[in-house]
Amino acid sequence: MESSISKCQLEALGYDYNSLHLNNNSYLCNYTYPKVMNNMNMSSVQAKAAEGWCGNIVTQDSSNIYISNTLYIEPVAGPLITKNPLSYNITCAYNLTMQTSLNISLHPVLSTIHLTPENGTGVFTVIMAAYKDATYTTPIQQNEEVDVGSDVYLGLFSSDADGTVFALRVDSCLATPTNDQNDANAVQLVSAGSAADDGVQTTVVQNGVSLEARIKISSFAFQGYPEVYIFCNVDLCNKTNGCSGSRIGRSADSKSSGLGINLLLQDGVNYTSSGYHTAASWAVLAASLLAFLTFKLF
């Protein structure tokens, strides 16, 4: 968010254009700089559009997110104080989307990976987050428990790729009881871009048509295990060439092939080990989701 004020007007009113600051006046919370707008010299300040950042106040309605802060301007210093500091609220409105909803969550459950094309030109970010509603606008928090029998909505998006050229496509996803995608008890959730019929109810809501992919998973657990890991292979495909076929690429994060996200199991639910490691359909999607995100750019 950016707010700009005319330096000349502030000087004429007896205010110091170098004194602009937000609710939190610490060094890390104030980024001011000169700017020319419409041939006028302006003093500008930026604020990060995120929940909890330097005194931001966040509200929302059914379709928008509103992020507000207060800008303060001190009078020119002198032997006499003849006026009070100025203060006024600044507010920016954003459409409530899969992406912007993460900005109003203090600790959303998400996984991020940076993807680079095979020719090494450019780096794209893909984020996978867990949501608890079909609109993909209510992120699950890291300390939030998942109720028995609830649905979990996995939203994946890239915010810095060109949506007129590329689409995000989930090639495959599988679930395992351990942090090992080669686990012998793995259950396929998505195969070749479509829902797999492997004992777990999965719906591919949107895939390969835009920079967002949406997957709904009915809650389940592996018998004897209190957690579930999910691994996904994704890519950015060229819309001109179509988004069919499997294209597995590589990550720009050379030290990590994926990032983990964790869901807490509902308090009081106990899975006793019976020696069986098969998936119990429609039970509980429990503690962990781990996204391995890869792509190949054409």
CATH of the domain at 249: 2.60.40.4100
Query: Quick one: CA dihedral 220, 113, 139, 62, positive or negative?
Result: negative
On whether residue 198 sits in a domain, the answer given is: yes
- Are 88 and 129 in a shared domain? no
Count of residues in the chain: 298
15 - beta bridge partners?
Answer: 75
Res 285: pLDDT:
39
- Are 76 and 118 in a shared domain? no
- Are 163 and 274 in a shared domain? yes
Q: What is the pLDDT along the chain (298 residues), one digit of tens a residue?
A: 899 999 999 999 999 988 888 988 888 888 888 999 999 999 999 888 888 888 999 888 888 999 999 999 999 988 888 889 999 899 999 999 998 898 878 788 888 888 765 444 677 888 889 899 999 999 988 888 777 678 999 999 998 888 888 888 888 888 888 888 888 998 899 899 999 988 888 999 999 999 999 999 987 777 777 777 888 888 878 787 777 654 544 455 433 334 445 566 564 455 444 333 345 433 333 333 343 344 333 3
- Are 145 and 91 in a shared domain? no
Res 24: pLDDT:
87
∠ CA 216-218-223, rounded to 5°: 140
On whether residue 298 sits in a domain, the answer given is: no
Q: What is the pTM of this model?
A: 0.71
156 lies in which domain range?
100-291
Res 163: pLDDT:
86
How many independent structural domains does the chain possess?
Answer: 2
Specify the residue for token string 């004020």: 5
Res 27: pLDDT:
82
| Residue 50 backbone class (left: φ over 0; alpha: ψ -120 to 50; beta: rest) | beta
Q: Per the structure block, which two tokens stand in for 142?
A: 């890291």
Closest CA to 172 of 163, 159, 181, 184: 181
Neighbours of 267 (CB within 10 A): 6
- Are 39 and 131 in a shared domain? no
- Are 104 and 76 in a shared domain? no
Distance of CA 50 to the CA centre of its chain: 11
Res 264: pLDDT:
61
Boundary of a domain, candidates 65, 80, 95 = 95
On whether residue 24 sits in a domain, the answer given is: yes
- Are 125 and 67 in a shared domain? no
Res 267: pLDDT:
46
On whether residue 297 sits in a domain, the answer given is: no
Boundary of a domain, candidates 75, 95, 115 = 95
Res 67: pLDDT:
92
Res 291: pLDDT:
39
